[in-house]
Amino acid sequence: MDSRLSRVTLRVRGYHLDGYGHVNNARYLEFLEEGRWGYFDDRPDVARPFASGNPALVAVNLNINYRLAAVAGDDLVVFTRLAELGGRSARMHQEIRRLSDDKLVVDADLTFVLLDVKANRPLAIEGELHDLLAPLVLED
């Protein structure tokens, strides 16, 4: 597996399900967030500038495609990668796949900005942070 790609596994539990017996669409947001946390856990040098809470990486757009229903007992893998890095924003691409057959369950693109929390204004992604992120880009 490419070192620029992060992998987190999880099991679908009963409390993840909706009335139809498959994972509720809102739960996928949590699964994707878990994947992003795992991405930064795997890269402590990249996460370090955000440990104090300022600046922060803030989601500004999320697009999710639901491809296949996951059900209780399914083991899922969340793959996360940095797909694009700009001067003011970046995009992460994520996929959730069923472990048993590698079928695509969900794919998503999340755009984030760097935010100065105290001043409540976006910052340019430049300098040391840009230098840390640039080698991690794995384009589509």
Active site residues: 18
Residues 6+ apart with CB under 8 A from 54: 116, 117, 118
Which DSSP string corresponds to 59-128? Answer: EEEEEEEE-S--BTT-EEEEEEEEEEE-SSEEEEEEEEEETTT--EEEEEEEEEEEEETTTTEEE---HH
